[in-house]
Structure 1
């Protein structure tokens, strides 16, 4: 009975560690999404800042800014795929974290039941031992 309680306690500790690991991985995946979205926003801001000031400008300036704007747009659109992939990964990791949390809670409940069963068994055994001594003493007095 004691071995069962120890085993359940060990399982509960392992499940808690697994949940912490899953939570850490999920947080990292979510941080990656935020990082990519921030980079995409910075590229969009940089792209928007390429407007020409009022006044005369040369064709070389127009061509250079147009080329730079095109490259920034290409880079930003390239991040769209990475962002979508990172979001899918983050959602998967959040689901894995929730699953790990459910396993942890289940293990904790089993551990509590095992402890309760051990307590009940110990109390019943002590009561049986006490009754047998009391009964033997009473039989000797008759």
Structure 2
């Protein structure tokens, strides 16, 4: 292995670690977004269950239901910005993971080309160092010919 191949192999290790970190960040961002979406769904289900009060209710109970509904609506509205931010962050992390994967694949291709070039160069050098064993020019005698 020559210096170029060794350097490219080190680059592959770096690119692999970068890609793994980008994938981990993407997974974390996706998890955060999933948690926020789940929270929004729970708020929505609480709100719909709250609206389905059955039977007669006192004024105090209706007042409590109305106040709780307002609080749930406020919580859902205040969750919109973090949802958008989490979605944007996930998209950004996805783009970074894609770019890291492209860089890793590129480094792998460069390493393979370098390794093949090094093998070809080593083969050429082995052939160049091999003692000459050629037969040289041989003259064939042609029947009836003179040498």
Equivalent residue for 1:99?
Answer: 99
- Tell me how large the CA RMSD over aligned residues is: 1.5
Aligned residues: 134
Work out the CA distance in 2 between the residues paired with 1:71 and 1:83: 18
Alignment of 1:18-57 (within 5 A): 18-50=18-50, 51-55=52-56, 57=57
Is 1:110 matched with 2:110?
yes
Equivalent residue for 1:67?
Answer: 67
**TM-score normalized by the length of structure 2:** 0.87
Quote how far apart the aligned CAs of 1:31 are. Answer: 1.1
Gaps (5+ residues) in structure 2?
137-147
Q: Which runs of 4+ in 1 moved over 6 A?
A: none
Gaps (5+ residues) in structure 1?
none
> What do residues 61-90 of structure 1 show as CA deviations (whole Å, max 9, x unaligned)?
111110011001110111111101100000
Work out the CA distance in 2 between the residues paired with 1:37 and 1:77: 13
Q: Which has the larger radius of gyration?
A: 2
Work out the CA distance in 2 between the residues paired with 1:52 and 1:92: 43
Instruction: Give the SS at the match of 2:132.
Output: helix
More helix by share: 1
**TM-score normalized by the length of structure 1:** 0.90
